[in-house]
Amino acid sequence: MRTFPGTFSFLSALIFSLFIFCTGCQKTAIQYGQQYIDNGITNIILVDSIAPVVSTIYKDSVPTSQSGTILAGSYSDPYFGKTTTTSYLQLGPPTLTDLLNNAQYDSLVLLMKCNGTFYGDTTLPITLTARQLQSEIKFAENQVAFYNIDSWPVSSSSLGTKSFILRPLTGDSANIRLSDTKGMELYNLIKTKSTLLTDKNLFTDYFKGLNISSTTGNNIFGFKDSAVIRLYYHQTDVGPQNKYFDFTLYNKPLQFNQVNTDRSGTPLTALNSVNNELLSTAAGNRGYLQTLSGLYLKISFPSIRKLLERSDFIKIIRADLVVKPIANSYSGTYPLPSILYAAQTDGSNEPGPSLSSATAGNSFAETGNLSIDYIYGINTTYSYDVTGYLSQEITNSAINKDGLLLFPPADSRFSKPNRLVIGDAYNAKNKLQLNVYYISVNK
């Protein structure tokens, strides 16, 4: 049989070189033929008809001790009723120094500096009253915190009271002149260097603590927990000297805020430690949040699995939850929580892992991206990417009470009275929106 001599090599080389030529060929895009395309196989479809369930969760107690904030004041609003805060704290003895023989007591003043927290009309005055506690603040055995529902016996007589108009955002201070009787008593202890002042335990047994409350109903203010009782005196050495001793906050874990609420006239009266969940449908298509008084928002998605009933459904590629505060329920006087985390929860209504998103490979907790519509108020929103969460929930075939719990971050959760009222999916003006984009494949 004859064979291919050099020709085969020639042909092979030719084909190979043509291959090389081919790799440089690029297909040119020609805008023609769209009408002949069957483009109905794959689609991205937006579904906004899945109604999340909104409920207000009531926790009968939330920890308020060691929050770093002294809250005092009260206010009333049509959504939450009346909220009153009272603070309890313990003071320690001053560092003693020798007094000259000519030293004389001047005054006793409670000094508290605003920390920027406020709620209510700050153009109206607040009347603050300081009272001495009747018994020393102490944890019970195994107790590690005080709660919003806790209180402590307070002396009926006040050490001092004063009305102010405070400007919380400019670092204003509340200075309350206290009883000179108490002042002289403390001065004498200083002058004699009493053991009550040198032994802190003896001092806290002597001066059991301080209660700060308000009798006006216009507003609530937050103060730094660096509050002090300052005893002013003067003496003459080479020249006249004005001096003072500070009784500073002692044992910070024992400082706590009591929060009393009167929900009369609101749907929230239905909540108690037994009935601790209020569906929005039973509350005027609204959900309520004020974590300081134990109110959380829960949003659950029991009907998400209805997507599986669609024959074309493949997978969720994006799901956005848009939460809309009720218009006019917030203002500069009643500001919204600037950050609102969303955590996974179940029937226990305890917060689990936070909802998080990934950007550029980094995972971060979703904060709600508060966007405020200052003009009409109807487009103020918190928004969340719930893609991952719903992709997980849609696979859960068990009957469950899973959902997302909304609450402010830890540094303000139990130290600020900020509250929020949202509309549910049936609210006419401020409708909760769930936008689910899914991949559809028609087979």
Contact residues for another protein (CB under 8 A)?
Answer: 1-8, 10-12, 14-15, 18-19, 21-22, 25-39, 41-48, 314-315, 317-318, 437, 439-441, 443
Q: Shortest Cβ distance from residue 137 to another protein (Å)?
A: 53
Which amino acid, one-letter code, is at 46? L
Q: Which is nearer to another protein, 30 or 398 (CB)?
A: 30
Q: Which is nearer to another protein, 36 or 374 (CB)?
A: 36
Q: Tell me the three state secondary structure of residue 63.
A: strand
Contact indicator for 228, 186 with CB cutoff of 8 Å:
no
Q: Which is nearer to another protein, 27 or 201 (CB)?
A: 27
User: What is the token pair recorded at 349?
Assistant: 């209504």
Q: How far is CA 148 from the centre of its chain?
A: 15
Q: Shortest Cβ distance from residue 343 to another protein (Å)?
A: 23
Radius of gyration of the chain (CA): 33
Other beta carbons within 10 Å of 312: 14
- The secondary element (H helix, E strand) that includes residue 247 is strand 240-248
Q: Which is nearer to another protein, 42 or 331 (CB)?
A: 42
Q: Shortest Cβ distance from residue 306 to another protein (Å)?
A: 15
Q: Which is nearer to another protein, 3 or 156 (CB)?
A: 3
Q: Shortest Cβ distance from residue 23 to another protein (Å)?
A: 9
Q: Which is nearer to another protein, 264 or 395 (CB)?
A: 395
- The secondary element (H helix, E strand) that includes residue 186 is helix 180-191
Other beta carbons within 10 Å of 47: 18
Mention every residue, 6+ apart, whose C-beta is less than 8 A from residue 67.
225, 255, 256, 257, 414, 415
Measured CA to CA, the distance from residue 46 to residue 31 in angstroms comes to 28
Q: Shortest Cβ distance from residue 1 to another protein (Å)?
A: 6
Q: Which is nearer to another protein, 42 or 102 (CB)?
A: 42
Q: Shortest Cβ distance from residue 278 to another protein (Å)?
A: 32
Q: Shortest Cβ distance from residue 325 to another protein (Å)?
A: 25
Q: How far, in Å, are 198, 280, 324 from residue 336 at the CA level?
A: 46, 19, 11
- The secondary element (H helix, E strand) that includes residue 17 is helix 6-23
Q: Shortest Cβ distance from residue 26 to another protein (Å)?
A: 6
Measured CA to CA, the distance from residue 226 to residue 177 in angstroms comes to 17
- The secondary element (H helix, E strand) that includes residue 298 is strand 295-300
Mention every residue, 6+ apart, whose C-beta is less than 8 A from residue 323.
299, 340, 368, 381, 382, 383, 384, 406, 422, 432
Measured CA to CA, the distance from residue 349 to residue 441 in angstroms comes to 37
Q: Which is nearer to another protein, 87 or 440 (CB)?
A: 440
User: What is the token pair recorded at 139?
Assistant: 């944890």
Q: Which is nearer to another protein, 242 or 359 (CB)?
A: 359
Q: Shortest Cβ distance from residue 14 to another protein (Å)?
A: 7
